[in-house]
A and B are shown apart, each in its own frame.
Chain A
Amino acid sequence: MEMELKVNQDNCLGCGVCVVACPVNASISNEVAGGHGSKTTETIMMVENGFIKLFSPEKCTKCGTCQLFCPTDAIWLE
């Protein structure tokens, strides 16, 4: 039973910790891993206009790292 990556923008603080913590993002873009937010939409998720947005959720491997780091339950697997 495959889980799905979900976001709730109402909870999102726009801190970007999920973007930085995500190991798949880091392997796609080193800038993202360094916290410099490259503009590539190749990554799974990015903060856009202060809110988290999913760009390539199909790349998600459901490892749960984003959920572990998110302080407000704005991103999770279900």
Chain B
Amino acid sequence: MISNTKEVKARDFEISRSAEEKRELLYKDDICIGCGICEKTCPVDAIELGSIGAIVRTDADVPKIVCDEDKCVLCGMCSVVCPVDALEFKIDDEDIKNMEEYPSLISSAEINDEICIYCKACETACPREAITIARNLPERSKLVTGEIEIDKETCIDCGICEEMCPADAITMEHKLPTSDDPTVSSDIIVDKDKCVYCLICKKSCPVDAIKAACRTCSYGEYDLNPEDAETTGASFIDQETCVNCGWCQEICPVDAATVVKSFEGELSVDQEKCQACGACVDICPCNVLSFPASSASGMRPEKVMSDENYCIYCGACENVCPVKAIEVKRTDIKHTPTKSKSWDKKMESLKT
């Protein structure tokens, strides 16, 4: 007799069946956002969504979903409808999202390195910490040039220039004076790669020991090699943790990020019903929901507010709201076509 086997690793699980073809369902709990779409879609009610509010907010060591291996028929539907790739379904080691016969949700997030100026705004804004921007800054010494010299005969080793230098370009080697050598410094060094010729040292030197000139100040603007001023780099989006929420696209000052969302819809919060408990704010994977700043200390915050620009209409907030104050409607689902009417029907059933 052929039966499913379930292996549970930490909070993840793997259900598989080896018959003519090998079918496997793999669940990754740290990717799961607790939206419950899999639970609603499973044709055999094998998946049960846990108490996600409590799990996420109290960091409980409990999986967000559980799947009953005795009920699971390994159809793969949960994997196809999962908006974040927490469920992976493989037939003979091939992911069905890559198979033409099966539909899959259309969503993506990309950063075009040709346009990207590596400002890191997206890296900071990404609610899933899925973006890494690696950048190489231009060399300071190529952007500003000049002359600087310290007359060691005149210098009294006071160290004011070292302390004042905003670029940390001046280093003094301090030493204790001896009867043999009563000076307090053995050397003073200017690192010309760091010096920006701001002339702060020259102006603050009490004995006028520093001669310095900035090329721009002396001769006016001069042409830089534009390549020397350029910041280069590379961007990286971790597609596994990315939820295609659109923060990067919205925040990018040069429109280098492009996000395609699989769901369109509406999110509404009933301000009358809302008790401002914050469960939705904590569960939302996209930082869509937030509390307006409290008017005074000790005051209960105002009701919750939302910015639908970043919503993926996953419905996690609706599920978690203890007082049913949130409604998430999905009006359109983008997915690749399938010849199977039953699969198509299931995909369309994600609309609410």
**Are A23 and B275 in touch, CB under 8 angstroms?**
yes
Q: How many Å from the CB of A54 to the closest CB on chain B?
A: 15
Residues of B within 8 A of A26 (CB): 275, 323
Q: Please tell me if B273 contacts chain A, counting CB pairs below 8 Å.
A: yes
A64 interface neighbour in B57, B276, B321, Cβ under 8 Å: B57
Residues of A within 8 A of B273 (CB): 27
Asked whether A3 and B54 contact (CB < 8 A) given A23-B275, A27-B323, A64-B279, the answer is yes
**Are A27 and B275 in touch, CB under 8 angstroms?**
yes
A21 to B301, CA, bound (A): 12
B54 interface neighbour in A23, A24, A27, A62, Cβ under 8 Å: A62
Residues of chain A from 49 to 78 with CB closer than 8 A to chain B in the complex: 61-65, 67-68, 76-78
User: Mostly helix, strand, loop or mixed at chain A's interface?
Assistant: mixed
**Are A64 and B275 in touch, CB under 8 angstroms?**
no
Report the contact-size class of chain A (Cβ under 8 Å from the partner). 20 to 34
Q: How many Å from the CB of A44 to the closest CB on chain B?
A: 10
Q: How many Å from the CB of A41 to the closest CB on chain B?
A: 19
Closest to B59 in A: A64
Residues of A within 8 A of B57 (CB): 63-65, 67-68
A65 to B275, CA, bound (A): 11
Asked whether A63 and B277 contact (CB < 8 A) given A24-B323, A76-B58, the answer is yes
Q: Please tell me if A33 contacts chain B, counting CB pairs below 8 Å.
A: yes
B277 interface neighbour in A65, A77, A78, Cβ under 8 Å: A65
Asked whether A61 and B322 contact (CB < 8 A) given A1-B50, A3-B54, the answer is yes
A64 to B63, CA, bound (A): 15
Residues of chain B from 250 to 303 with CB closer than 8 A to chain A in the complex: 273, 275-279
Q: How many Å from the CB of A37 to the closest CB on chain B?
A: 17
**Are B50 and A64 in touch, CB under 8 angstroms?**
no
A29 to B273, CA, bound (A): 12
**Are A63 and B50 in touch, CB under 8 angstroms?**
no
A74 to B66, CA, bound (A): 27
Q: Please tell me if A2 contacts chain B, counting CB pairs below 8 Å.
A: yes
Which B residues are closer than 8 A to A by beta carbons?
Answer: 48, 50-51, 53-58, 60, 62-63, 66, 273, 275-279, 320-323
Which A residues are closer than 8 A to B by beta carbons?
Answer: 1-3, 21-24, 26-27, 33, 61-65, 67-68, 76-78
A to B CB contacts below 8 Å, 29 in the list: A1-B50, A1-B51, A1-B62, A1-B66, A2-B48, A2-B50, A3-B55, A21-B277, A23-B275, A23-B279, A24-B322, A26-B275, A26-B323, A27-B275, A61-B53, A61-B321, A61-B322, A62-B51, A63-B54, A63-B277, A64-B51, A64-B55, A64-B58, A64-B279, A65-B57, A65-B277, A65-B278, A67-B58, A78-B60
